[in-house]
Amino acid sequence: MELEEKFVNRENIYDGKVLNVVKDTVLLPNGKEAVREFCLHIGAVAVLPLLDDGTVIMERQFRYAHGDVLLEIPAGKLDFPDEDKLLAAKRELREETGALAKRWTDLGMLVPSPAIISEKIQLFLAEGITFTETEPDEDEFIDVERIPLSELYGMAIRGEIPDAKTQVCVLRAWAVKNGLK
């Protein structure tokens, strides 16, 4: 069965700093038209920084949309559409935690909410960590802590980490480090 929907036209609803809201008219496989409202996002990177002692550098950050402080891996949006994902990951890791990594493993891409946002997050494992100064954005307030990867794995399995990119990156890093990939 044909599943692809064909673009007909777009109406821009809102242009913001982080995302743009659009309303597209599409042609369905059955020939009928439908409306798709969604957000365009430039893309992002996320990093699981694993220290030699088996702990992971984690962040706690207030997330306004959810009204709560969430436990997350370091992450951030791209500065421009074609930005090199590895360079962006290195920048975000250094700015938010002061960490620099010697070894990088690509853990693949994550599409966190495909029905309503075009965001794609490239995931990385960073190892061989040394530290320098942090440079958080002026609107970023982050508490940094270290948690063993084994503990994070258990938290992810038990559903104690609500953030999707953190869950997926922890599980993929666990698989890589335990020869399960």
pTM: 0.94
Domain count, the chain: 2
Task: Specify if 101 maps to a domain.
Answer: yes
**How much of the chain, in percent, has pLDDT values that exceed 90?**
93
Tens digit of each residue's pLDDT (9 = 90 or more) over 71-116 = 999 999 999 999 999 999 999 999 999 999 999 999 999 999 999 9
Residue 181 has pLDDT above 70, yes or no: no
Between CA 87 and CA 93 the distance in angstroms is 10
Q: Which residues are catalytic?
A: 138
Q: How confident is the model at residue 150 (pLDDT cuts 50, 70, 90)?
A: very high
One domain, residues 76 and 157: yes
164, 165, 170, 175 alpha-carbon torsion, rounded to 10°: 100
pLDDT at 136: 80
Between CA 178 and CA 161 the distance in angstroms is 21
What is the domain extent for residue 94? Answer: 44-177
- Identify whether the C-beta of residue 129 lies closer than 8 Å to the C-beta of residue 144: no
